């Protein structure tokens, strides 16, 4: 696919006017009380980041937020289409809103996100869930203010699935969920078309944000006290290719890393086909960049990698890993794996097992193949029964548990810099995380949440560490 230059546009004046108008009508309807929104986000960090924009636009439209759907004037589910299970959960939870709508007929129920870009899903919602008043896809985020206004005022159902996937919109207000841990999208969409994956169909073509916009947002976050910033993209290694003045991802992170402050810089996701030495060198030489590389390999078998359209083989993947281990002292490696891709045999699967033994990942995100409508792999012959795939999956989990336990026990006695993230409700202990993304549980004061501390690792329980400050 040829790469074309993509220029960003600002959120239009018109959308700001719609936010103002919504605030005015809601103030009259609620007699001066703030209307409340309930937002539930499914799926990956891209969706979390989109929800933060939606919350920003809702706040400017006069809304406050609630954790209880029963108190809400507006309910929105931001959905994920990556696996069938994710979609089934959404359908189940939307179905459950029917009674709520009956009890509170004035409530506006809305659905957005990746699932809504699938035509068959939008049709099903339209026909089977008449209480859903507003539906919009990932390409329509920048006119959410107008869609919200129209749904509230016209009282008609509004369904919009855009096809505007070659644009980037800047200037959308963001209301971040966290105060010290935050997401920073650097690009949208994906051009890779791995044969199992729905993302390119629901998120559109790959497009990068301008470097200067990202740098100033990073600066703002760092000055605002953010301690853990994750740069987001489906394939961050191809960042910058669609810009008028192309920039590599390694250049981008080096420039962010040069910003003064006390913070960690992370990123995801890296695609092994273009994870360059330059990038690994940038991590090795960075001041703030976490010594952590999430590099999904999906399968250890070359035959399956080819069928998946991944454009690397086992040898190339292992070379990248070898270089990362050599250059980045104490690097923590994590990955995604799909078990039971169509045509995978037990022999292929054993190559996945041998690869994880060889690399010794800190942790893994493991999935059983789920056929997605409209992707090539949906039509591939898939003779292995589900029970057999579940057995392989369990075998994979057992092997990884052994590896993680070994890796974690090797850390006992070491001192690690950790970011204290939260207080455990049950025990009152602190939850912290290392730069390599390993969870550490500690005793300490709740006041420490949001600060960096040094923790001595005293014990390893499977993949979780215990420590003292």
Q: Which is nearer to ligand SF4, 159 or 239 (CB)?
A: 239
Residue 435 contacts residue 291 (beta carbons within 8 Å): yes
Q: What is the 3-state secondary structure (H, E, C) of 112-142?
A: EEHHHHCHHHHHHHHHHCCCCCEEECHHHHH
If one asks whether residue 302 binds ligand SAH (CB under 6 A), the answer comes out as: no
CA dist 443 and 226 (Å) reads: 23
Q: Which is nearer to ligand SF4, 189 or 467 (CB)?
A: 189
Query: Binding marks (x or -) toward ligand SAH, 175..214, rule CB under 6 A?
Result: ---------------------xx-x---------------
Query: Binding marks (x or -) toward ligand SAH, 377..416, rule CB under 6 A?
Result: ----------------------------------------
Nearest to 307 by CA among 360, 358, 369, 366: 369
Surface-to-core class of residue 247, CB atoms within 10 Å of its CB (0-12 exposed, 13-18 middle, 19+ buried): middle
Query: Binding marks (x or -) toward ligand F3S, 59..98, rule CB under 6 A?
Result: ---------------------xxx----------------
Q: Which is nearer to ligand SAH, 84 or 326 (CB)?
A: 84
Contacts of 398 by beta carbon, 8 Å cutoff, 6+ apart: none
In what order do the strands lie in the sheet containing 64-65?
Answer: 64-65, 36-41, 74-79, 108-113, 134-136, 158-160
DSSP label at 30?
A: T
CA dist 52 and 59 (Å) reads: 10
CA dist 251 and 231 (Å) reads: 13
Q: Which 212-271 positions form the footprint of ligand SAH (CB under 6 A)?
A: 234-235, 269, 271
Surface-to-core class of residue 130, CB atoms within 10 Å of its CB (0-12 exposed, 13-18 middle, 19+ buried): exposed
Question: Minimum CB separation from ligand SF4 for residue 381, in Å?
Answer: 21
End-to-end CA distance of the chain: 52
Helix axes 211-223, 249-257, angle to 10 degrees: 30
Kindly tell me which residue out of 47, 51, 192, 351 binds ligand SF4, with binding defined by CB under 6 A: 192
Kindly tell me which residue out of 21, 122, 202, 432 binds ligand F3S, with binding defined by CB under 6 A: 202
Kindly tell me which residue out of 22, 46, 352, 363 binds ligand F3S, with binding defined by CB under 6 A: 46
If one asks whether residue 203 binds ligand F3S (CB under 6 A), the answer comes out as: yes
Surface-to-core class of residue 381, CB atoms within 10 Å of its CB (0-12 exposed, 13-18 middle, 19+ buried): exposed
Q: Which is nearer to ligand SAH, 60 or 270 (CB)?
A: 270
CA dist 157 and 151 (Å) reads: 6
If one asks whether residue 114 binds ligand SF4 (CB under 6 A), the answer comes out as: no
If one asks whether residue 83 binds ligand SAH (CB under 6 A), the answer comes out as: yes
In what order do the strands lie in the sheet containing 363-368?
Answer: 292-294, 332-339, 363-368
If one asks whether residue 234 binds ligand SF4 (CB under 6 A), the answer comes out as: yes
Contacted entry of ligand SAH, ligand SF4, ligand F3S, none for residue 114, CB cut-off 5 to 8 Å set by kind: ligand F3S
The pair of structure tokens assigned to 223 is 């000055």
Kindly tell me which residue out of 90, 132, 190, 202 binds ligand SF4, with binding defined by CB under 6 A: 190
Query: Can you give the C-alpha Rg of the chain in angstroms?
Result: 23
If one asks whether residue 193 binds ligand SF4 (CB under 6 A), the answer comes out as: yes
Contacted entry of ligand SF4, ligand SAH, ligand F3S, none for residue 47, CB cut-off 5 to 8 Å set by kind: ligand F3S
If one asks whether residue 271 binds ligand SF4 (CB under 6 A), the answer comes out as: yes
Interface region with ligand SAH, contact rule CB under 6 A, candidates 99-107, 163-171, 285-293, 364-372: 364-372
Cα dihedral value 77, 82, 84, 86, nearest 10: -40
Q: Which 16-75 positions form the footprint of ligand SAH (CB under 6 A)?
A: none
Question: Minimum CB separation from ligand F3S for residue 141, in Å?
Answer: 13
Binding interface with ligand SF4 (CB under 6 A): 190, 192-194, 197, 199-200, 234-235, 271
Binding interface with ligand SAH (CB under 6 A): 82-83, 196-197, 199, 234-235, 269, 271, 296, 298, 336, 338, 367, 369-370, 372
């Amino acid at each position: 696919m040829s790469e074309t230059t993509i220029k960003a546009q600002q959120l239009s004046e018109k959308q700001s006017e719609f936010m103002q108008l919504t605030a005015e009508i809601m103030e009259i309807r609620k007699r001066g009380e703030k209307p409340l929104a309930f937002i539930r986000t499914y799926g990956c960090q891209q969706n979390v980041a989109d929800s933060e924009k939606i919350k920003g636009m809702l706040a400017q439209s006069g809304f406050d937020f609630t954790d209880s759907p029963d108190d809400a004037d507006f309910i929105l589910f931001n959905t994920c289409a990556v696996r069938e299970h994710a979609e089934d959960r959404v359908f189940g939870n939307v179905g459950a809103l029917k009674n709520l709508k009956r009890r509170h007929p004035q409530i506006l129920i809305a659905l957005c996100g990746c699932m809504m870009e699938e035509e068959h899903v939008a049709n099903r919602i339209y026909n089977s869930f008449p209480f859903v008043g507003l539906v919009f896809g990932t390409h329509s985020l920048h006119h959410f203010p107008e869609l919200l206004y129209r749904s509230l005022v016209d009282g008609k159902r509004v369904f919009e699935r855009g096809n505007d996937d070659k644009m980037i919109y800047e200037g959308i207000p963001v209301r971040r969920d966290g105060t010290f841990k935050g997401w920073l999208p650097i690009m949208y969409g994906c051009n890779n078309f791995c044969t199992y994956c729905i993302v390119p169909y629901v998120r559109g073509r790959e497009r990068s944000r301008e470097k200067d916009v990202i740098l100033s947002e990073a600066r703002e976050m760092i000055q605002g006290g953010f301690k853990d910033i994750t740069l987001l993209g489906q394939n961050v290694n191809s960042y910058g290719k669609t810009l008028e003045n192309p920039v590599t991802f390694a250049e981008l992170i080096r420039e962010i890393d040069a910003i003064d402050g006390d913070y960690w810089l992370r990123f995801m996701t890296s695609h092994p086909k273009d994870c360059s030495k330059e990038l690994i060198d940038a991590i090795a030489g960075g001041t703030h960049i976490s010594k952590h590389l999430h590099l999904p390999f999906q399968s250890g078998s070359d035959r399956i990698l080819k069928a998946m359209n991944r454009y690397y083989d086992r040898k190339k993947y292992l070379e990248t890993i070898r270089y990362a281990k050599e250059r980045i002292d104490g690097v923590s490696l994590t990955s995604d794996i799909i078990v039971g891709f169509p045509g995978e045999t037990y022999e292929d699967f054993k190559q996945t097992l041998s690869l994880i033994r060889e690399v010794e990942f800190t942790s893994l995100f493991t999935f059983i193949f789920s056929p997605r409508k409209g992707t090539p792999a949906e039509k591939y012959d898939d003779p292995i029964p589900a029970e057999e795939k579940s057995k392989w999956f369990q075998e994979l989990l057992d092997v990884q548990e052994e590896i993680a336990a070994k890796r974690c026990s090797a850390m006992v006695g070491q001192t690690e810099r950790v970011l204290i993230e939260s207080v455990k409700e049950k025990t009152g202990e602190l939850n912290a995380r290392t730069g390599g993304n390993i969870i550490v549980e500690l005793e300490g004061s709740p006041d420490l949440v949001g600060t960096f501390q040094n923790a001595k690792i005293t014990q390893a329980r499977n993949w979780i560490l215990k420590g003292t400050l």
